[in-house]
Amino acid sequence: MAFSEQQQEATLSSSQARLLEIREEEECSYDTHVSKSLNRLETFLKIFGFCQNSIFTILLSWLSFLLVAVALPLFIFHYFYSSTPNMYEIKSFELEILAFQSLVAAFSLLCISHNLRKYGVRKFLFVDRSHGHCTQLDSEYAKKINDFFYLLAVWLLPCLLVKTAREGIRLLYLPQGPLWQSIAILIALTISWTYSSVIFLSGCTLFNLVCNFQVIRFDNYGKLLEKDLDVSEYIEEHIRLTHYMSKISHRFRIFFVFELLVVTASLFVALVETTGNHGLINLINGADFGVTAIVELVGLVICLHAATRVSHRAQGIVSVATRWHSMATCASNETSSSASQAPISGNGDCMEVSVPLSSDFFHHTYSESDLEAVDYVPIPTNTALSTYQKRQSFVMYLMANPGGFTVFGWRIDRALVNTIFFLEVSLAMFVLGKTITFPSQ
């Protein structure tokens, strides 16, 4: 008997050790999955000069930017473009477009590289305590990182095709010397424009990625209401989420405001130049205004959509908590009434019976629960009245602290975004109407 008991204990310990090994392998595979996506993203950021961890990389990044994004098109405009005005080329248009295009790209490079140098890639993207090391959310994190490249390609490639077609058409009407020289100029200008556009859109898409990670946290916070936790645990976790949002707001507020002002100023200048020009504005000499307006508007829309989405998700927690409070109160009242009809035993204290909520109530809105974001401490069961008061104070706290992305105290919600969006779209439509048209004259 003693030998059999020892054999059973050895078998049990070996099975437990095997389960621990399997769990560790799964966690390592999860972390490797996210790490691979992060390594791809970090390699992309290094190629375009966002990772500036030393003096050498800082000098190399900014020298590359000045040469490719600024010096190369200026050299072509000065030496290969005609100094005499003609209907297919307006040199002042080209210089103004280059100035605003380089300005938004330079500021995007400056802000993102500063944050990456200060925090690193993982801490910059994941502002929570786990820094992305969460097995329950690894697939969602990896998907969002892959969506970064997809979003960048979806918006950049159509604009690149339009830009290439415009440069090709202009060289047909206004050839720059021999054929090989015209082709070389087309390739150089396209590379310079693509480099600046990728840097600008990458900054906007990184902001969108950080906001999407926070949206995942808010989605999983609603799932916590299914758990039988004390109300103080929910409040503490919401305080953490609010703190994370303040981190994001602090890191991106200058970037957000500057991009908004520069894009608006660029569209105003384009509108003034195209309407104030007494010459003929056609698809060849003015289409760059339209292409630049589209790229800048796309970057701004990406930022506005990300800020609005995370603010809307943060404010939506109030409605979820209110429904939870109502259902828990009704369930408590039903339990109390049924308990009053039952025989009383023990010391006669009326204690609340915990009635779990149906998981189907939250299934249509939220995904997997995030247990690692909560420091769970078992607390003794409270009376029904005390529990109701805690839930009520929790709902009042959420109503007074809606959260979301803020810029110097201004919350970026749908009302503000609608005003900004229609202003920018109106300016862009005016610019497109003046440039990408075929006049009858």
pLDDT digit of tens for each residue in the chain (441 aa)?
A: 444 545 544 444 554 444 444 344 444 444 567 788 889 999 999 999 999 888 999 999 999 999 999 999 988 887 776 555 555 566 777 788 888 899 999 999 999 999 999 998 888 998 877 776 777 777 888 889 999 999 999 999 998 998 888 888 877 777 667 788 888 888 999 999 999 999 999 999 999 999 999 998 888 887 777 776 778 888 888 888 888 888 898 999 999 899 888 888 888 887 777 776 666 666 676 677 778 888 988 998 899 899 888 888 888 888 888 888 788 778 765 555 554 444 433 333 322 333 343 444 334 343 333 333 333 333 344 444 467 788 888 888 888 877 788 888 777 777 777 777 778 777 777 777 666 555 444
Q: What gap in Å lies between CA 332 and CA 395, rounded to an integer? A: 17
CB 317 within 8 A of CB 401: no
Give me the pLDDT at residue 353, please. Answer: 34
Q: Where are the alpha helices (DSSP H) in 48-178?
A: 55-65, 72-79, 91-119, 121-125, 138-173
Give me the pLDDT at residue 71, please. Answer: 93
Give me the pLDDT at residue 157, please. Answer: 93
Q: Where are the alpha helices (DSSP H) in 277-374?
A: 283-341, 360-363
Give me the pLDDT at residue 76, please. Answer: 84
Q: Cβ neighbours of residue 334 under 8 Å, at least 6 residues apart?
A: 355
Q: What gap in Å lies between CA 287 and CA 163, rounded to an integer? A: 9
Give me the pLDDT at residue 127, please. Answer: 86
Copy the structure tokens of residue 247. 């981190």
Which amino acid does the sequence have at 430? F
pTM of the model: 0.77
Give me the pLDDT at residue 312, please. Answer: 87
Copy the structure tokens of residue 239. 């305080």
Q: Cβ neighbours of residue 48 under 8 Å, at least 6 residues apart?
A: 195, 198, 199, 202
Give me the pLDDT at residue 357, please. Answer: 39
Q: What gap in Å lies between CA 168 and CA 183, rounded to an integer? A: 8
Long-range contacts of 127-133 (CB under 8 A, 24+ apart): 127/210, 127/213, 127/214, 127/244, 127/247, 127/248, 128/217, 128/240, 128/244, 128/373, 129/240, 129/373, 130/372, 130/373, 132/34, 132/38, 132/213, 133/31
Q: What gap in Å lies between CA 110 and CA 65, rounded to an integer? A: 11
Give me the pLDDT at residue 413, please. Answer: 75
